[in-house]
Structure 1
Amino acid sequence: MTPETVRFCRYEVEGPLLILTIDRPEVLNALHPQAHRELAEAFDRYAADASLRVAIVTGAGERAFCVGTDLKALAASGDHTKPATGFAGITHRFDLYKPLIAAVNGLCLGGGMEILAACDLGVASDHAQFGLPEPRVGLAALGGGLLQRLPRQIGMKDAMGLVLTGNRISADEARRIGLLNEVVPAAELMKRARALAEDILACAPLAVQASKQVMLQSLAQANLAATLHEDYPLARRMLDSDDAREGPQAFAEKRKPNWTGQ
């Protein structure tokens, strides 16, 4: 993945933080097969880079985060191709335990909602709108896991309201039903997303990843007692790490811990 070959997303590294921007503002950041492939490669790169600890996913421009599939491109080509890792290279990626923050800068429709639901935290501009218009064009939100994730994330009635009507909701309503963590003025969106990232970066990276693994892996178990005895490899790695010793030592010495991720 080099600047010469990447046309539809921006991959910007700020120390341990990645800013990943969907870059098709002329079509409201709708995705076609090549954009899916580029984003999949970007998430592959984030997952493999030990120096990167948190990623913020956003959209180019002020109008849209992502409005889903590029229907004009689809109608012209008939090409539904997506990576094995799903819509935008993220919705079928179940082994990424580094945190993802969605910074929703505008319209978040269809596949944009798929991306948001696949992220761990969400902050949105106050002008953002959210919806699942698929039934209004003869389709359903299949394939990206959204129909499975929404009832787990926001509750069945609110999920059904979004899925069955195709109606849009405001950022404040999205926050009320639990789609988002925060709503902020547009000018403050990336500042607030970076602040959330800094809060995560203040924590031990292995502890963050272990916590995410335990929560996500536990969702696959219906029995709560069984989840307490499940094997969580990242939790074992965390407990055996230098950071697990550094944290209590730093606390005892009343100093800021020096996390190494080891």
Structure 2
Amino acid sequence: MSDVIERISEAQTVFNRALGVDAKEALSAFKAKLNEKQRNTFNSLNKKRMACTLLESNDLYAFFAEFKGVAYLYPSNKKVGAWAACGFTGNRSKPDFRYWFDTKEQATAYIEKWAVLQIQKEIDKKQKKAEKKALASKLKQLVSIGDVFVASWGWEQTNIEYFKVVGFSGECTLKLVSIGSHRKEEAQAMCGTKTPDVNREIGEVFTKRAEVQENCMRNGELDVLISFSSYRVAKLKRKLEDGSYSPDDYTSYA
């Protein structure tokens, strides 16, 4: 709960800081840091935005470098005394919102709510990225050459695959090779158990990026995963106390 409050407070501080700077000057300073290609792309995007909403440059209310956000505030032509607000984020050419309000205070309050939420999202992204990087740094503490990963997947049948670590390639990438298995069929047809055969390598060595994750179901214990697809993910297989591996259940209809 305290982390949430801190992020909201940080987002509010960033918003207040942005309002304390002239919006046009802030936007110019941001564009000055871009290279020519990036600047041309940004200017082209801005032209599309202005054309699609019929805005004027003088309507610019605030610029937020954190999420490349711009907010516009201008008198509404719908009703005397009313105000309109419009906002864009990132590389979107269409507005996140474009609403009319009875008062200027209502319009600015909406802009604040929208901007603080976007800033919070960016803060969360940076925090998750930092946490992911910190976890990734532990990969070589968790995985050694010779370790085995197991993938259990399938719909009408349960396929079991094993992969052995034969090296490292960078901080987060493993060199792997498929390995065979010792198979034990049960009395019931087309099912049984498998255990990895670390001495039988199959095919060529390949590389895969590994990800370290906290397992919330086991008090934050760290798991190491390798993703081949959305449904086919291999997990580091832990050895038993005697150095062997527990069996994995499989089924087959072929």
Superposition TM-score, scaled by structure 1 size: 0.25
More helix by share: 1
The alignment's TM-score, normalised by the length of structure 2, stands at 0.26
Please tell me whether Structure 1 or Structure 2 has the larger radius of gyration of its CA atoms. Answer: 2
Higher strand share: 2
Q: Which has the higher contact order (CA 8 A, sep 6+)?
A: 1
